[in-house]
Amino acid sequence: MNIPTPHIEAKKGDFAKTVLMPGDPLRARFIAEHYLEDAVLVNSVRQMSGYTGTYKGKRVSVMASGMGMPSMGIYSYELFNGYDVENIIRIGTAGALREDLHLRDLVFGIGACTNSNFAAQYQLPGSFAPTASFPLLRKAVEAAEKREGLHYMVGNLLSSDTFYSDSNLDVNWRKMGVLAVEMEAAALYMNAARTGKQALAICTISDSIVTGEATNSAEREKSFRDMMELALEIAPE
């Protein structure tokens, strides 16, 4: 695909092989400002901030995906197909669907169920199971094991088209063992599958659909930082 793309103004080579993708452009800026050395702004189209710098000597990029599968679908497609990006690690927030998942716990999405129609474009004679990159997932679990006091689970995410739902059907997914609900992982995993690239979604539990608890802003910053640091540590160069 030709670059610049309709949504990314960066030049060839501006992105590192690995891009960390939070939904929130301000979380992308926070990572660039707090963790990256010599961070350069490589995209600001639609204020979907993208930066490239180094973390402990390793070249890495961070760029926001926006919210929802259509937005993640656009950005991950353009990064994989236009900018030679090999790995995208989503670093997001998610709502717990189980009582044994607590605020600030991390979830590594080994798979991502979805209620979206994103997969219809592939015209498959059945349903597709979007899954994480095993090498990235294994690195994430190994890194999580080394972090003292970090609680995490590995399992299915639900990538939902709705944050506010009229029917509240998202909770039915917990009958199938789905751990938490967010809004982008399935699109990312499908774009990675289609291009033969690597993707992983790491989410911090920011609230619970079961208990109604939610983190406050100070707690969120600390727990977000665990997720950010873990993703930066495992990012392949």
Ligand X SMILES: O=P(O)(O)O[C@H]1O[C@H](CO)[C@@H](O)[C@H]1O
Spatial distance between the Cα atoms of 66 and 50, rounded to a whole number of angstroms: 12
Residue 227 bridge partners (DSSP): none
Binding partner at 78 among ligand X, ligand URA, none, C-beta below 5 to 8 Å by kind = none
> Is 91 one of the annotated binding-site residues?
yes
Q: Are 231 and 11 in contact (CB under 8 A)?
A: no
Q: Are 232 and 55 in contact (CB under 8 A)?
A: yes
Coil, helix or strand at residue 199:
strand
- Binding of ligand X by 182 (CB under 6 A): yes
- Binding of ligand X by 93 (CB under 6 A): yes
- Residue 220 burial (CB count, 10 A): 18
CA atoms within 13 A on the CB side of 82: 18
- Whichever of 103 and 199 has its CB closer to ligand URA, that residue is 103
Catalytic site includes residue 170: no
> Is 237 one of the annotated binding-site residues?
no
Binding segment for ligand URA (CB under 6 A), chosen from 115-123, 136-144, 148-156, 181-189, is: 181-189
Instruction: Rounding to the nearest 10 degrees, give the CA dihedral for residues 237, 119, 194, 75.
Output: -40
Binding segment for ligand URA (CB under 6 A), chosen from 11-19, 187-195, 201-209, 220-228, is: 201-209
> Is 206 one of the annotated binding-site residues?
yes
Binding partner at 95 among ligand X, ligand URA, none, C-beta below 5 to 8 Å by kind = ligand URA
- Binder of ligand URA out of 102, 135, 163, 211 (CB under 6 A): 163
- Whichever of 199 and 209 has its CB closer to ligand URA, that residue is 209
- Whichever of 38 and 164 has its CB closer to ligand URA, that residue is 164
- Binding of ligand URA by 93 (CB under 6 A): yes
Window 56-75: residues binding ligand X (CB under 6 A):
67
Token output for 154: 């590995």
Catalytic residue among 14, 105, 170, 207: 207
CB of 206 to ligand URA, least distance (A): 5
Q: Are 116 and 69 in contact (CB under 8 A)?
A: yes
Q: Are 39 and 4 in contact (CB under 8 A)?
A: no
- Binding of ligand URA by 94 (CB under 6 A): yes
Spatial distance between the Cα atoms of 228 and 21, rounded to a whole number of angstroms: 10
Token output for 4: 């610049």
- Whichever of 32 and 183 has its CB closer to ligand URA, that residue is 183
Given CA atoms 74, 7, 83, 68 in this order, what sign does their dihedral have?
A: negative
Given CA atoms 150, 62, 13, 201 in this order, what sign does their dihedral have?
A: positive
Q: Using CB under 6 A as the criterion, which residues of the chain lie in contact with ligand X when the complex forms?
A: 22-24, 67, 92-93, 163, 182-184
Active site residues per annotation? 207
Q: Using CB under 6 A as the criterion, which residues of the chain lie in contact with ligand URA when the complex forms?
A: 93-95, 163, 181-183, 206-207, 209
